[in-house]
């Protein structure tokens, strides 16, 4: 499991939360302390979905990432565009990408 550090800080009114990846594979999540406790929890869940969907390692339109983090099911293609190489900051992220790619392609790694 990836280390995730959550901090409540005063952010501008339009910014509910921000997640930043660190070089060691951990993440810092900043939640606006001016939000209600219920909205802080919803914002935390939104930011955690960004991490679970590995948005920091995909070349995807930000609007699509936000929709996915809001809970919308998207058919996301994990193949990078021509000339792009996927970047993974942890072995877990790479393993998840390989597993998902194999599932999309119908490949069983146990038989390869």
DSSP 14: T
Strands (E), the chain: 4-9, 17-21, 27-32
Q: What is the pLDDT of residue 101?
A: 72
pLDDT digits (tens, 9 = 90+) for 79-96: 555 666 566 656 776 777
- What burial class does residue 19 get, using C-beta atoms within 10 Å of its C-beta: 0-12 exposed, 13-18 middle, 19+ buried? buried
User: Does position 69 have pLDDT exceeding 90, yes or no?
Assistant: no
Q: How far apart are CA 108 and CA 95, in angstroms?
A: 14
94, 88 in Cβ contact below 8 A? yes
Domain span at 72 = 4-111
pLDDT digits (tens, 9 = 90+) for 6-38: 999 999 889 999 999 888 888 999 999 999 999
Count structural domains, the chain.
1
């Amino acid at each position: 499991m990836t280390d995730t550090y959550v901090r409540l800080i005063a952010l501008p009114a339009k910014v509910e939360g921000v997640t930043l990846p660190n070089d060691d594979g951990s993440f810092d999540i900043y939640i606006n302390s001016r939000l209600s406790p219920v909205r802080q929890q919803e914002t935390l869940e939104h930011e955690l979905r960004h991490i679970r969907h590995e948005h920091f390692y995909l070349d995807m339109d930000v609007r699509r990432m936000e929709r996915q983090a809001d809970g919308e099911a998207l058919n996301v293609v994990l193949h990078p565009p021509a000339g792009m190489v996927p970047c993974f900051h942890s072995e877990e992220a790479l393993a998840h990408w390989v597993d998902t790619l194999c599932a999309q392609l119908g490949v069983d790694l146990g038989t390869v």
